[in-house]
Structures are given as C-alpha cells and as structure tokens.
Structure 1
C-alpha cells in the first residue's frame, strides 16, 4: 500500500522553513535596550535565566581544587605541567598548564577546545599553549567533559556530543553548563597560582571551544579579555543547522539572542574572529555581524566601545596561525598593556607527540576522572529515587510533565483538509488528508476505512520510520486483515516531513532545534498524537500503537490525554532514562531535560488512565528487558500508581527467551 499523502515531495522543506521562520520571529522579539538602566535590568535577569537553563542554578558545590601534578615537560623558556583538579565532588578535570620561566606575575589564560576527540593533546589545541607561554602568559588547556582523557574508555578518544553529551539533559544538566563550570574551576586554579596575576585573566578557543569562551566570558566577571574563534553567529542561525549539543541552551532562543550573551562580557574586552570560508551556516560572517552590531550598541552605551571588535579572516573553519596572531595582539594589549591590540607575530610552531601530553600515559586513570556516561549513570538513580519519593498528586505530576516536555496541550487540531478517497478493493477504501496540529505543524494522515462488522473505532499507529514503518508491523497488518479501521500518521520529522537526515546522528538537528525553541521532540510528538486522536474521536474509540522512540511519546500522551485513547501499546519503548551504559542506541529525539528530576518512564505509565501495554521495552543501550527486569518495571509502575491513588492497568512483556 502506497503510504504517501502529499503529491509533492516538499513536506520536509516546509517543516524546516517553518522552524526557521519561528526562529526569525523570536530573533525580532529580542531588542537592544536603549538606556543603561534598561540594560542593567535585562542583564541581571538574563544572567540568572542562563544559569537556570544551563543547569547551574543553584550553583554546584565548589570543593577544594586538590591539584595533582602528573608530570612536567621542560622546554626552552617555559614548562608544561600535566595536572588534574577537582571540579565537583568526585569529578576531576585533566589539563596541561603552560608556565613561562620566571616568577611573574603573569596574566593567566584558559584555553578551551572544540570537537577534537583528543582534547588538550591535539596539536592544533596545544599550539595555543606554546604560543602564549612563550609570550609570557600562563595558559591552562583542559579536556572538555567527555573529550581527551575524560572519554568513555581510557585511551579511546570520542566525540563528546550527540547522545553522549545529551545524556546530561535527563539529569537537568547540560553539556554547555558542565563545560562552563569546569572552566570556572579552571579560573579558580589560575587565580590560586603564585605566578599568575589574578586580576588579569583571559579565555580563548575555537569552534566548540569558542562557544565555551563566549559563555564563560558572559557568566564569569573575572574574565578581562576573551577571543572566541569561528563560533559566533546568531541563535536564530542555530535553528535547523548543524551544531553540537554542547552549544545548545534549552529554551535559549525564547530567552535571548547571541548579541546579548556577547554583551554580558562587558566591560571585558571581546575580540570575535570568524572565517570568511566557514562552511557552517551558523557561523557565517554575515550572522556574526548581526550579533556584533547589536552587542556593539551595548558596549557603546556603557562607554566601552573600544573593548569590542570583530575580524573576518579569509580562511576556513579552524584556529589557524593567522588567527592566533590576532588573538595574541589582543591579549598583549588588554592583559599586559603592550602593543596596540592589532595582530602581532607568533613564534614558530612547536609540536610534541600527543602521548607526551597525557596526564595518564598508561591510560590508568582514577575513577574521579570520569566520563559523561559514568557520571550520568551514577547521578541518575539518585535523582530518580528522590523524584519518585515525592508525595505529589497525579494532577501536579501531569502538569510538571507537560512543562518539561514543552508541550502545548491547550489547542486542538486547527485544521483538517478534505479527504481524498481511493479504492483498495474488497469493498475497502483509504483516505488521505492533512491535519494541522498545534504550532502549525502539518501532519500527513492515511486512513484505511474499516469493513462492516469489524471491531469499532480506529487503530492510530505511529512509528520511528513513519507511516511506511508502521505499515510493516504485525499489529497493523493483522488489524488491516481483520477489517479494522487504521490511521497511519507521520509525526514531525518523520516520514514525509523528515527534514533532519541524521547527518550527525538520527534526529540530531531536529532535537537541538526543539530544545532551542523551548520544546522537546517527545513533547512535539505528544501534541501531534493528541491532535490526530482528537480528530478521529468522532468516529469511535481510538487505540494507539507506537514503535521505537515515539513509544515514549505515546506513554506521555496516555499520561496527559485523559481518556483520549481506549488503550495504548508501546513497542520497543525506552524502559528508563537511567543510564547503565551508552544511550547511543536511541535517537536524539528521546531526551527530555530534567526528566529524572520529575520521575521516569515508569511514572508516565503509572499516570495513564487507560490500559497500557509495554511490549518488549529496551534499555538506553537498546537491549530488550529480560523477564526479571520486565517484572520489576511492572511492579514499579503498579506501586507508583497505588501511591497516587490510581488503578494501574499496565502490563509489561519481556522479550521471548
């Protein structure tokens, strides 16, 4: 059966453009204040909102640094100290400290890196330490959380974004916030050193490291000078374009634009370096200039126009020697009072073997040098236990869930097109139509009419692979064979409306886009499912079946939709957001900020007011639950329902042995 509804293959482009239009509207809402008092008011509130969204409010515990040196490399005019320090209780950061010869006091610079799996030891990252130390700057270059020596497996370097970095979202944290905190602790370390002038601190990095540079300079007033490289655009340009989860602030575009974050650096000196030939649409010079010009208005308003500058350099994406020349001139002027702030010559490049820069060359790191996955796996159960122990009534739990999903449950489907009928033979026919759900989302629907005498009502089927995937499932085939009425629908970014082809990871850009707009993909799918169910309700009871990641949305819809469904079947549903290893088997659509501070999948199921079947739920690593784990999950759901005074009608079926 042909499942296509729309005659033209432009549904994906339409959804993508609608998201970009929404981003443009948010951009226009964020206007530059006209007075210093208006800016002061905006600044105070914005600073707090960023910390909250990043997972840094209240502030994490700040234990003693407990700096441990793991070796020293002596070079001409400076040395490299391999060290680690305590960022949070039980969590250490690895870094290399480049120290000029002499007693100082020298300015201190924090070096942040982008998406180089080797982290601080990569030659292109270490080169900045060599350049700065030879010019009289104490420079600390650290491994970003999940990179370098802080990866999942010691000695195996990996990309710390995608599902790995997104694993922090379930905890109510973000990779963006974790990096800010590690870097703030790096500033603590620099200020503690006797050879560093604690009043003259700078920060620089490229790409993802430039993003870290911007956020640190915005949030920590100790930064006197900052140079973000190939990383500044607009938050509007982040929407529906490739970026890392480390650069995602949940709800960010609904709160502010990038110009305001840049302006938070004032009165610190800020030099923005972008590349004319950057291939990333988010970092085009034209986008950077939009943010620069608005931030410039704030710097002028505050009387610090000379402390903000930008330069577009005819290079590709990277922290090339030419860019290092600009950075060095800026730091010499603003941190040492030397030169004019213009580019200056840099010494010849030095490149050491990567292994020489490792804190743990034998890869025998202590457990405190933990990966993102290890940290999230330890923290998740604690948060879940605390959340489930709360004595909150079911209505309050439901309201909190809807808020965490970013789901709008107040508006029914806004529009339903006329239905185009076509025969299927044997006295049956199908109807193709478009439903406009909340936020203007267009949902292509395929309805196979039931035969006389068949079971009443409609089976609504949603699938991670869209209508075509649902059509191939045994439950749908059996329903069609029995003459039941079946409705197949593509949820947002599925089937005919899939605009995110998964260039980085499945649903990567769609999930990031939803986060920036204050939503989640699970929440969007809940809106879609309830809109379609509402449109079908006049034709009798609706049963819901879902496969893959949309199965979580089906459970959430059951929890939030009252009696919108006769029953719900969730096939291959995620069993828990508590990590017991990697979550890379799941697509990026699955993540919900702070879900473990609310509860877990089990609480969604317990809140359902209709019978629910969990068919072969899976772990975050994608492993089907065995009989014992399935029984434990069902028992947990029943206990939660009883605690809220609800009658649980949830069954959990394990994989067959």
Structure 2
C-alpha cells in the first residue's frame, strides 16, 4: 500500500527549519561593546559551558607512570600515562629536548585519526617542536589510540560510542577537555618546563579541542587551532563528530564567543581553502573570526589574533606547520615576528614504537569509553531502583520533560485539508499536522469501511510509515476494527533528510543538530506524538488512543504516555530495557 501523504518529500522543510532556528540563535548572539560587559558575559559563558559539557572533577594526583624512553637526535620521546580522574588514565608521548631547559610546553592534540598519538602526521608536530626547543605532550583522545574498546584495535570514538556518555551525564567534548587540562597540569609539573609558557595545537577534532582548552584554561598563552574553526550555526545539520558537540550550545553563544574567551592570549587560526566539510569553510571561519576580533579589540590586543587561509585540503600540512612554529616561537619564546618559518627534516617512529603498551596488555585504569560508562551507569541505575528511593510521580514527570526538552506551546499549530477516500474495503484519510511552525507530520489514517468504532491506534517507526504499516501488530489492530493512524515523526519517512549515516548510526546528524538547539530527538518525537494524538481526537473524533511503536520511537511513545492522559496504552518493541550497556557494542 502507498502510504505517502505528500507529492514530494518534505525532508528539506524539516532540515531548513533547523537551519533557520540556528540562524535565529546566531543573530541573537552579538559581541559586547565594552570590556566590562564582556568580562561579565565571560564569567556567565564559562559557567554555562561547564554546566552543559559534563562534570569537571576536582583535580586528583597525576600519578605519572613512565614507560620506555626513546632517544632521538637532539631530543627524546618518552611513553607515559597520567591520571585525569581517580583511577582513570590517559596514554601519552612526551617529547623533550636535550638539555636542562626550562622550555615552553605545548599540548599536541590529534584529530580523527584512529591511531591517535601514534599517527605520523600527529607525531610530526612533536618531533618538529622538540627540535625547536619545546617540550611536547601528545595525548590519545578518549576512545582513540590506545584508549579504544579493544586493545590493539584503533577505532572511531564518535557516533554511538561517544554518545553513550550522555547516559551518565557526560559529554565526549567535556571528557576530552578535562583530560587535556590535566595534560597542562603535567607539563607545568615538570621542572624543565616553563610553566608560564604553555601552548596548544591540533587539527580537525584536535583543533576543536585546542579551541576549547585554550578558552577554558587561562594557563594557555598561545594556541593554533587547525582546520577546525567555523560557526556553531554550520554544525547544525552537518556531519561533524559528537566530540565537537556542546549540548544546548547555540542557545547561549556562537563560536565567536568561545574564541573570544581566549582573549587576550595569542591565537592563530589555520583553515584550508579546499576543505570539503562546510563547517570548516573559510567563509564560516571568518564569520567567527570577525566577531571574536571585537573582543581582542576591547583588550587592545588585535595583533594577538590572526588567521591564515591556506590553499590545501583538510589536514595539518607542512605549510601549516611553518605557520604554527613561527607563531609559537614569537609568543612562547619571544623569537621572530610570528610569521611562517622553515621547518627542518626529522625522524619519525613507527606506530608500535609510540605505544605505551605494545603488547596490547593495558591496565584496567586505561579505560575505553564503554569501560568508563558501564560501572557508572550500573551505579546510577541501582540508586534509582534503591528501595529507599521513593518516587514522586509528578516530580519524575517534570524531570523527564526537562531532560527531553519537549518543546513548549500547543500540541499542534494547524492541520492541512483532510483528503478522504477509499482503497478497497478501507476508508482512508490523508493530511499533515503542523506540530510547530514549519514542522509537518504527514498522517495516513485508515479503517475498515463502515466501522463506527472510534478506538484509534497511532503507529510510528524510526523508518517511517511504510515500516510501521508492515508491523503485524498494526495489521492486527486494523483487522480488529480499530482505526490505524500512520505518522511520520519529524525526520522520518516523508520528512527524512539525514542521509549521512555515521558508522551505521541513523539520525546521527539530525540528533546532533537538535542538541545544539536545546532540543533532543526523543523530545521532539514526543511532541510529535502528543500533537498527533490531540489532532486525531479533533479530526477523527477518536475516543481512545493507543500507540504501537518500535525502536527509538518507542522511547518517545512511552514518554508521551507519561506526559499525557490522552494515551491509553503503548506497545513498544525493540526498545532498550535499560541505558546500562552490558556489552562493548553500540546498541
């Protein structure tokens, strides 16, 4: 059966509504006019970032553990781990020039190269900077390098792996920032490092972390984020990693605000003119740069904020290394004018030589993301189910609504013209419900001809109406004389737009998009279900409403039933029974 309601797919309408919402937020965030106003805004901004990025625990003992040291020509590379949280260790390589020092220290952060610190393009910065008199700490990002799920197997740390941190109130962005700030603690603890001269650099995801660390840690005196700066607006509907996501971020700032937090410390932004990721287009970077420059202007330090657009592809290429080295020589060693300098040839190590645990026998405190999440999720679940933990239903409903960020306002805004007809022995009706301004939910209602029963079943599925219609339970409901209402929740079926599955995770880009905007996908779908339930009572005179759902839409259906008395019952298939994941696989 053709369940289509619309003559053309409306995914673009839903996508455009998110882009427009992002633009509205962007327009509302403008640089202040005075330094006093900025300092007030700055304090508020830092507080909001930390509140939304997850926990930043009190610093524990670094408990640095040193492993093998490899002597190079003019410097050494030492393999080590340190604690960023109690019982939670970060794997790293330390590049140290020969001689007593003290030398400036640089935190070197890798992007989405699964080998992490071991990748040759990441090593390059360590070797180059050490040859030029800098101590360099190169760390494995959480979930990458030696911190992946299975020792010895490099993997991508985003999508469902990094997303599992949400279940315990953490974010991958915040976890990495904390690891990296503790890396600065480590650099400052070394007697051969000048603690007042700390720099940070990295490319892509590492460039993103460079920005966050440089703006949240005032100890960073110079930074060079590479192929990573754009606008938060451009993140919305884009395909960036979850490690670059700050939930609710656009509701209180744009990316220029984050860059501005680094002021008045020197920052050089390097972007690639041939980058194929729209988020990192030079045009997006300059939008943020121009606004952040207003903050540096308030400090009277415009010479400390600069950018270069280089005619290369996404990466940290030799031309960029030249720019970075010149910048750090100027601002961390008082040498030169900050312009690009020639770089010398150097040796590289094999990936296995950079491993702290080349036999893949890492200790338990070098944890994967799943290994970190699981015991904490188990503990939280046990606390919720504790016999002494009384449950106030009204309070729990309020908490659920807050967690889901269910959009406020009426259940629905309007209903299109209802088109009625027949198909065989079935009476059909097709219409769209506008849940919020510009958000259509196509609805296909069908019942056996002549049936007067007003019991109604709403059927929803992550893959849209066609998948819902093929559910035997839906067919059974229709055969029993109930009216069946097939609905495409936003971003599914005829409103589907997210065609870039990231590591087999459907709805990845759309889920990221709404989180930037202070929403959640489950919250939006809950709103859609409530709107359809209310609408069919008005249009179809439904007396009772049941829901048949599957997968992720089951969570929305259950949430809708908790928040509204209009829903009589819910059947949810394929829904996780718990957010505690007992395996090392995304589910």
Fold in common (TM above 0.5): yes
**1:96-115 equivalence runs, <5 A:** 96-115=93-112
Aligned to 2:568: 566
**1:345-364 equivalence runs, <5 A:** 345-364=342-361
Counterpart contact for 2:447–2:478, Cα < 8 Å = no
Counterpart contact for 2:239–2:500, Cα < 8 Å = no
Aligned to 2:207: 210
Q: Determine helix, strand or coil for the equivalent of 1:437.
A: strand
**1:72-87 equivalence runs, <5 A:** 72-87=69-84
Aligned to 2:556: 553
Match of 1:578 among 570, 575, 580: 580
**1:443-482 equivalence runs, <5 A:** 443-453=441-451, 455-482=453-480
Counterpart contact for 1:438–1:531, Cα < 8 Å = no
Counterpart contact for 2:107–2:184, Cα < 8 Å = yes
Task: Give the structure-2-normalised TM-score.
Answer: 0.97
Q: Quote the offset at 1:323 in angstroms.
A: 0.3
Aligned to 1:605: none
Aligned to 1:541: 544
Q: Quote the offset at 1:366 in angstroms.
A: 0.2
Q: Determine helix, strand or coil for the equivalent of 1:463.
A: coil
Aligned to 1:498: 496
Aligned partners of 2:434 and 2:579: how far apart in 1? 31
After alignment, is 84-93 or 572-581 more displaced? Answer: 572-581
Q: 1:367 and 2:364 equivalent? A: yes
Aligned partners of 2:451 and 2:256: how far apart in 1? 63
Distance 1:489 1:582, change over 3 A: farther
Q: Quote the offset at 1:352 in angstroms.
A: 1.5
Aligned partners of 2:132 and 2:346: how far apart in 1? 13
Counterpart contact for 1:131–1:347, Cα < 8 Å = yes
After alignment, is 416-425 or 367-376 more displaced? Answer: 416-425
Aligned to 1:398: 397
Aligned to 2:86: 89
Counterpart contact for 2:80–2:94, Cα < 8 Å = yes
Q: Determine helix, strand or coil for the equivalent of 1:5.
A: coil
Aligned to 2:48: 49
Counterpart contact for 2:111–2:203, Cα < 8 Å = yes
Q: What CA deviation, in whole Å up to 9, does each residue of 1:295-335 have, x standing for no partner? A: 00110111111110011000000001110100000000000
**1:25-174 equivalence runs, <5 A:** 25-56=24-55, 59-174=56-171
Across the aligned residues of Structure 1 and Structure 2, the Cα RMSD in angstroms comes to: 1.2
Q: Quote the offset at 1:386 in angstroms.
A: 3.0
**1:269-348 equivalence runs, <5 A:** 269-348=266-345
Structure 2, unpaired ranges of 5+: none
Q: Determine helix, strand or coil for the equivalent of 2:59.
A: coil
Q: Quote the offset at 1:583 in angstroms.
A: 5.0
Aligned to 1:650: none
Aligned to 2:432: 434
Q: Quote the offset at 1:115 in angstroms.
A: 0.7
Aligned partners of 1:502 and 1:477: how far apart in 2? 32
Q: 1:525 and 2:513 equivalent? A: no
Q: Quote the offset at 1:438 in angstroms.
A: 2.9
Aligned partners of 2:401 and 2:585: how far apart in 1? 23
Q: Determine helix, strand or coil for the equivalent of 1:107.
A: strand
Counterpart contact for 1:374–1:581, Cα < 8 Å = no
Aligned partners of 1:67 and 1:463: how far apart in 2? 50
Counterpart contact for 2:108–2:202, Cα < 8 Å = yes
Aligned partners of 1:45 and 1:208: how far apart in 2? 25
Aligned partners of 1:50 and 1:211: how far apart in 2? 14
Q: Quote the offset at 1:468 in angstroms.
A: 0.3
Q: Determine helix, strand or coil for the equivalent of 2:460.
A: strand
Q: Quote the offset at 1:351 in angstroms.
A: 2.3
Q: Quote the offset at 1:574 in angstroms.
A: 1.2
Aligned partners of 1:502 and 1:566: how far apart in 2? 36
Counterpart contact for 1:202–1:225, Cα < 8 Å = yes
Q: Quote the offset at 1:452 in angstroms.
A: 3.6
Q: Quote the offset at 1:454 in angstroms.
A: 6.3
Q: What CA deviation, in whole Å up to 9, does each residue of 1:243-275 have, x standing for no partner? A: 000000000000100001001001211000000
Counterpart contact for 2:407–2:519, Cα < 8 Å = no
**1:152-231 equivalence runs, <5 A:** 152-231=149-228
Larger RCO (CA within 8 A; separation ≥ 6): 2
Aligned to 2:515: 515
Q: Quote the offset at 1:453 in angstroms.
A: 4.7
Task: Give the structure-1-normalised TM-score.
Answer: 0.87
Q: Quote the offset at 1:409 in angstroms.
A: 4.8
Counterpart contact for 1:454–1:484, Cα < 8 Å = no
Q: Determine helix, strand or coil for the equivalent of 1:566.
A: strand
Q: Determine helix, strand or coil for the equivalent of 1:418.
A: coil
Q: Determine helix, strand or coil for the equivalent of 2:155.
A: coil
Structure 1, unpaired ranges of 5+: 586-657
Q: Determine helix, strand or coil for the equivalent of 2:332.
A: helix
Q: Determine helix, strand or coil for the equivalent of 1:104.
A: coil
Q: Quote the offset at 1:387 in angstroms.
A: 4.0
